[in-house]
Structure 1
């Protein structure tokens, strides 16, 4: 049975979601504020999170970066394109605007859960001292776990699937567009810069090499631990 966490302060909407999801066969967790959600996610590991933005205490925007390795569907009354783009860039898997059709939301939930159930694949990637669990989206440099944004994770995953190969920027953008459609040629450079910094701080070496005029390459020499 899949578990879905509803982080929503509107009692009526939350109750409707909980009743519908339970009827569909899901186990449901509830949190009514951002702060309560932090405590809930420390104890539980749901398969998916439905996240409202306008929460008491910690807002949904503040909470989103703290949710790692779990797909998050934002369910919010904020309908602006800029709001959606920013949240997708910050790691949301999907965005549904209130008021919403329950059938559409259920379909979007099924899509996200289906992505976690691809048969016949390994859930572990390794490249030198880097390792990644593709089920939980956890990443380690040696024994040290590092936290990545959704876009940084997608970039690193693709590079780890093609270690020591020079990958053109256009190829990286095309590949990660499946998960992060709002990453652009101009923003890719900044995402890779941030990724390099996080990897370098944990491993004390340069993991991603720029190949002038072409793209980037993941180097895989192990660090000394």
Structure 2
């Protein structure tokens, strides 16, 4: 599930956007000022940002350069063409003028996600409602960040990269050894047990299953 961060101090517009995006199957998070947006982005990395320009605290123009590796669609009442050009050259992926047409905005959002997939540059791995950001080393479930150890993160990353395959214990140890030299055959079971427990605490789902005598795999719903 792709997560979209709405940065807009207008509660009504934000609510309209959130309702629209939720109906389309997106997860939504909110920030109501430029300062709050920077704080939110320091703890999580959404898949796309909808950014208003006229914000309390830091303005949208000040926030934009601080958003790295995430497509940003500016949504603003400013219609000056030079302003649009400056923002697009300054890093915005697209610019939509308020009041916006919902179908057009949804189409522009879909284009950004399609571009991310076809370019192959996305750093986001997903399995069901788990999102793993390989750039920021952040794991979230439905937007809730999961604090993992270095070893737990490496195990989960490898399993999500091979979601339909059983990953043997030998392969697990071999592939994660560069990142986690402290993980041994005797401690692997403990690391996976702790990882499963942390993931399960969010919504009581079990995401990893053991295949007796072979290894582990992501559990299909």
Q: Which residues of 2 match residues 20-169 of structure 1 at below 5 A? A: 20-118=20-118, 134-136=121-123
Please list the CA deviations of residues 70-98 of structure 1 after superposition, one character each: whole Å capped at 9, or x if unmatched.
Answer: 00000000001001000001000000000
Secondary structure at the aligned position of 1:92 is classed as coil
Is structure 2 residue 9 aligned with structure 1 residue 13? no
Instruction: Determine the C-alpha separation between the residues in 2 that align with 1:135 and 1:106.
Output: 20
1-structure distance, mates of 2:113, 2:2: 8
CA displacement 1:97-133 (0-9 Å, x = unmatched): 0011000000000000111112xx7x5xxxxxxxxxx
Q: Secondary structure at the match of 2:100?
A: coil
Distance in 1, Cα, partners of 2:104 & 2:9: 21
Output the TM-score relative to the length of structure 2: 0.55
| 1:168-213 deviation line (CA, Å, top 9, x unaligned) | xxxxxxxxxxxxxxxxxxxxxxxxxxxxxxxxxxxxxxxxxxxxxx
Instruction: Give the alignment's TM-score, normalised by structure 1.
Output: 0.54
1:44 to partner: Cα distance: 1.1
- Paired with 1:135 and 1:110, the residues of 2 have a C-alpha distance of 15
- Taking the aligned partners of 1:30 and 1:135, their CA distance within structure 2 comes to 22
Structure 1 residue runs without a partner (length 5+) = 124-133, 137-144, 146-225
Report the Cα distance in structure 2 between the residues aligned to 1:56 and 1:88, rounded to whole angstroms.
22
